Structure 1
């Protein structure tokens, strides 16, 4: 069974327009205040045990549906698909899930360590697989299977170290002593590829943006610390 990266479906939403009647003109001599979370205002990250994941499945599903948007039918469909995906990954050895929270749940990311064999490799080109195995020591390759964050995290300050998605993926790798993160993305999902690349992910093979045939995947990698 293959595991593909899951992101909420609103990754390409445009930035919100300023409210009518409000001026956003920059005053001479005053630096413009950067919008979004600051390094001192970010959400707290912490891992959940397997039991805690099971206890909070419904809450995690609600989070995914909430940030995905859409009508009731889309909400239920997206939520159900996410929970199936999460439940399947939670059975893998070494599975780990991090949550981000303030007074409420605001995001999560999860994945599992990858060995040198197993059905997950079926989505990889042979050359890409051998290249990864040569450059990464056994046990130091980690599959980042899902990242769930609000739309603002996907469209604002993507390159900042304190961007919530970057904090989550960096912490996942660090907690497992992983050197490289890896994920599979549907080749035709240009929006997801663009979002991940804005968070530091890079193509593991030929870095082209050409959409592949239906069902084909692109392999993206993330260096620890990025």
Structure 2
């Protein structure tokens, strides 16, 4: 296989109950008072250049592994596998990675714009409907291939616009002027599907974004889509 051809990698969220990781930073008093802030309070969300991504690979890999749980072997294995996938995505045209931070890295999300052909689409197993394909042809489709946030972001305030995961995915689409976000999830990974749906993602349909899952043909992946501003 040529080095520049990458097979699709379904999005997989780290485990909900990490066994090792950074201590949780205390919430500011104002956030404790009314809880009207993301479960992880951050001062800024900003993009990294490709060079900055390369410089911070260790930090990015550590945060992913720390939210994955498991023993030391599993921690290192998750980190190594993740960094391979991230390096592959970072070589795609239009790749973008956003970080959320205070005095330390709090989370990040990344992806790339896509056209209506190529290896990524071939791996969707025919589950991407006609409407997303039309958006891809017009240059308005953006693949969100990774969202890395602390477990409590997946447990708390998932439907609020200020939830950290929602903030990151919304900013990714806005920065690229995307008309639709799309991601692949392993069909057997019901936990990730449920979490993504709690953040506003929906199963891909031909012409609509339904409020309930659509029946889709059997296959290795499920295709989820996200409307801008969600």
Alpha-carbon distance between aligned partners in 1 of 2:135 and 2:90, rounded to the nearest angstrom:
27
Within 5 Å, which residues of 2 pair with 1:51-70? 51-70=51-70
Distance 1:56 1:144 in 2: 20
Q: Residues 30-41 of structure 1 correspond to what in structure 2 (within 5 A)?
A: 35=35, 37-38=37-38, 41=41
**Aligned partners of 1:135 and 1:49: how far apart in 2?**
26
Structure 1 or 2, whichever has the larger Rg, is 1
**Cα 1:78–1:127 shift into 2, 3 Å:** closer
* Aligned equivalent of 2:192: 192
Matched, 1:5 2:14: no
Aligned length, in residue pairs: 206
TM-score normalised over the length of structure 1: 0.82
Q: Where does structure 1 lack aligned partners over 5 or more consecutive residues?
A: 14-31
In structure 2, C-alpha distance between the alignment counterparts of 1:159 and 1:51, rounded to whole Å: 34
Give how far 1:208 is off. 5.4
Shift of 1:117: 1.2
Q: Post-superposition shift, 1:212?
A: 5.2
Residue 218 of structure 1 pairs with residue 222 of structure 2: yes
Q: Secondary structure at the match of 1:162?
A: coil
Q: Distance in 2 between matches of 1:87 and 1:225?
A: 28
Rate the CA distance shift 1:72–1:212 in 2: closer, same or farther, 3 A. Answer: farther
Q: By how many angstroms is 1:204 displaced?
A: 0.3
Runs of 4 or more consecutive aligned structure 1 residues displaced over 4 Å after TM superposition: 32-36, 208-213
CA distance in 2, matches of 1:69, 1:38: 22
Residues 15-71 of structure 1 show CA distances to partners (whole Å, capped at 9, x for unaligned) of xxxxxxxxxxxxxxxxx96547359x5441000000000000011000101111221
